Amino acid sequence: MLITIKSYPAKNGDCFLISFGETEEGKKHLLIDCGYVDTYQNYLKKDLIQIGESGASLEKLILTHIDADHIQGAIKLLKENNSKKFVTIKEVWHNTYRHLCEQKEVEIDKKQERILLQLIRRGYPQNESKQGEQVISAEQGTTVGALLLQGKYSWNSDFNNQVVCIEQKSTVELNPDTNIYLLSPDKQKLEKLKKLWNDELKRYGANFNLGNSQLYDDAFEMLLSWEKEKAKVVPKQISATRETLEELLKTPFKEDDTATNGSSIACILQIRNRKLLFLADAHPGLIVQSLKTYQNEGTIIFDLIKVSHHGSFGNISRELLDKIDSEMYLISTNGQKNNHPDKETIAHIVTRKTDFHRKLYFNYITANSKYFEREDWMEEYNYSIHYLDQQPYTLTL
């Protein structure tokens, strides 16, 4: 069976189209994240139109977490698909307010409504894309949640219309040959996201979190996209000297603790005997726990590993790397945010002893990807650097 993974140019974000099948006519398609608006307009849209014209569908649209660089393209996709349907989306996975917080039939007073509308009108952080493409007024329904309701999509129905989390369901069958194994988030990670929402509302002078108004969904999505921006650390200074691999390996590890990244939907896509690991921006501690449930003993060899959080060192611990390995690693970023991928991440991936040749794929050429294009290192540690920065942006398994 042919499997293709298209890693679109999503700037510092993620957008992956996975297609598989015995024949062109019988192909199945999954879309994980949509990058920015221009990711959709310039690259993704034409492929989705082609899928629709072929009579096929998107089996799943998985929006891993609320972050502009993962979901802004989905807003444009859903808006246009709602206006004139060009592709069938059978199921959407997306966690928002209505899935995390208790909903009651309560009337929102004017003060509460004013605060929610203020958050919604703020929109998404305006960066990494053309201003005109991102500014879609709130009155038109700018959030993913609003557009999913408008388009009457099947939304989290694999999880009984509740939150996507491992306690709710850990395995979803696409067909007898294909399963998705959920690794993240769990309820604890989602509780942290809920607490962030409540704390932020208090900062705005609001002390409420109950209600089933769509305003809550929209405000939740907008507010958390800005929280992620605040959480981004100042880019590290690139050293004037070339560090040795030994120095990179000695860098102390500190796990990412942002609530938004911790809420990421991470999963294994198993197609027959092929296993693909998509880590979104997930925290490594939870991923290790979930992988032990999936296979307790030994290292799990995947056919592909999409590295978490654009290669951030805070999202790939030694414990995680002891549990996973692959001949193919995929890192999605243009390096413009936080100087990702971190050199420490790549050093830890490539220096482990291996019986096979590791190929590291990047969808952009970055300073830190080029840093590892050293013939002596590649020969000693049995790895190579590859780029998907030109059409067709595709890996084939």
What's the chain's average pLDDT? 88
Contact between 186 and 286 (Cβ < 8 Å): yes
**For residue 103, what pLDDT is reported?**
62
Of 53, 58, 17, 57, the closest CA to residue 35 belongs to 17
**For residue 21, what pLDDT is reported?**
92
- Distance in angstroms (rounded) separating the CA atoms of residues 306 and 13: 13
| pLDDT tens-digit map of 307-363 | 999 999 999 999 999 999 999 999 999 988 778 999 999 999 999 999 999 999 999
**For residue 332, what pLDDT is reported?**
97
Q: Which amino acid is at 133?
A: E
- Distance in angstroms (rounded) separating the CA atoms of residues 334 and 130: 16
Check residues 126 and 202 and name the one with the higher pLDDT: 202
Check residues 26 and 74 and name the one with the higher pLDDT: 74
| pLDDT tens-digit map of 94-136 | 999 888 876 665 667 787 788 888 888 777 776 544 444 443 3
Looking at the predicted structure, is the pLDDT value of residue 396 above 50? Answer: yes
| pLDDT tens-digit map of 259-304 | 999 999 999 999 999 999 999 999 999 999 999 999 999 999 999 9
Contact between 98 and 212 (Cβ < 8 Å): yes
Of all residues in the chain, what percent carry a pLDDT higher than 90?
Answer: 70
